[in-house]
Amino acid sequence: AQSVAQPEDQVNVAEGNPLTVKCTYSVSGNPYLFWYVQYPNRGLQFLLKYITGDNLVKGSYGFEAEFNKSQTSFHLKKPSALVSDSALYFCAVRDMGSSNTGKLIFGQGTTLQVKP
Amino acid sequence: DTEVTQTPKHLVMGMTNKKSLKCEQHMGHRAMYWYKQKAKKPPELMFVYSYEKLSINESVPSRFSPECPNSSLLNLHLHALQPEDSALYLCASSQEFASGVSNTEAFFGQGTRLTVV
């Protein structure tokens, strides 16, 4: 069964410090991995994706993510956090194998709190 | 333009009402989706349209009826809803999701906040 896990409900970090939001996945085929951010009462905004190629993916607003096939992880990172980064973050996977349906499987979400 | 537009932004309806949610995109995407999201939870897929045909119905109750009039529009017709159907309803679109397609990320609208009273 395909699944995505975000082991931390909340991550707290001080402004200016590096941040990491963790994600691990389990799929039967090749994973297409995504990170989305959601601000209160808003839709999801696409941050970045991994399809193939370099394991370090750069995305919007200074975020990047590292794909690690052996650890089946896709952690989101940013070198220096901003208070405005405080939001709900979702990791998602699309299985592009034989069961490809276009369906995104989301993790439970991680609330990022950046304090001044 | 990576915009998906949803109307209305807010909707309050009674359990006997009929209402519709609308979604529009002009990115040339051929896959469109309806998701339901409860507070601080991940979105739950409801329906997927691929090339204007319904390809996935995630066992959604018949009081929710999707419609895809053309490749840019997606509607969700609501009838006889229950208070537990109150949620944020998100529309999304993406390129076709065939293997080998790299631009497969989904773009989401701002959602319709639905309250059933």
Residue in B96, B99, B110 closest to A42 by CB: B110
Give the separation between CA B39 and CA B55, rounded to whole angstroms.
27
C-alpha span between B102 and A51 (Å, rounded):
7
C-alpha A102 chain-centroid distance: 18
Cβ <8 Å between B90 and A44 = yes
Q: What is the CA radius of gyration of chain B?
A: 14
Residue B1: the pLDDT is 59
In the numeric block, the tokens 């537990």 are attached to B84
Q: Which residues in chain B are contacts of A43 at CB distance < 8 A? A: 4, 6, 90, 108-111
pLDDT for the residue numbered A95 = 60
Using DSSP bridges, classify how beta strands B18-25 and B44-50 pair: parallel, antiparallel or unpaired: unpaired
| CA–CA dist B53, A54 (Å, integer) | 35
Q: Which residue of B has its CA nearest to A43?
A: B110
Q: Measured between beta carbons, which residues in chain B are less than 8 angstroms from residue A104?
A: 43, 45, 106
Q: Quick check: A39 contacting B, CB < 8 Å?
A: no
- Whole-number Å distance between alpha carbons of A25 and A67: 11
User: A42 with B111: CB under 8 angstroms?
Assistant: yes
CB contact under 8 A, A96 and B111: no
Question: Nearest residue on chain B to A91, judged by CA atoms?
Answer: B42
- Separation CA B85–CA B83 (nearest Å): 5
Q: Do B108 and A36 touch (CB under 8 A)?
A: yes
Which residues of chain B does A90 touch, with a Cβ-Cβ cutoff of 8 Å?
42-43
**What are the φ and ψ backbone dihedral angles of B29, each rounded to 5 degrees?**
-70, 140
pLDDT tens readout for residues A29-81: 778 899 999 998 889 999 999 988 889 999 999 999 999 999 999 999 999 99
Distance CA B28, CA B2 (A): 10
pLDDT tens string for chain B (117 positions)?
569 999 999 999 999 999 999 999 999 888 899 999 999 999 999 999 988 999 889 999 999 999 999 999 999 999 999 999 999 999 999 987 665 565 678 999 999 999 999
The residues near A5 (Cβ < 8 Å, ≥ 6 apart) are A23, A24, A25, A26, A107, A108
Separation CA A26–CA A44 (nearest Å)? 22
How close is the nearest chain A Cα to the Cα of B91, in Å? 9
- Residues in B lying within 8 Å of A, measured between beta carbons: 2, 4, 6, 31, 33, 40-43, 45, 48, 50, 55-56, 88, 90, 92, 94, 96-99, 102, 104-111, 113
Q: Do A43 and B108 touch (CB under 8 A)?
A: yes
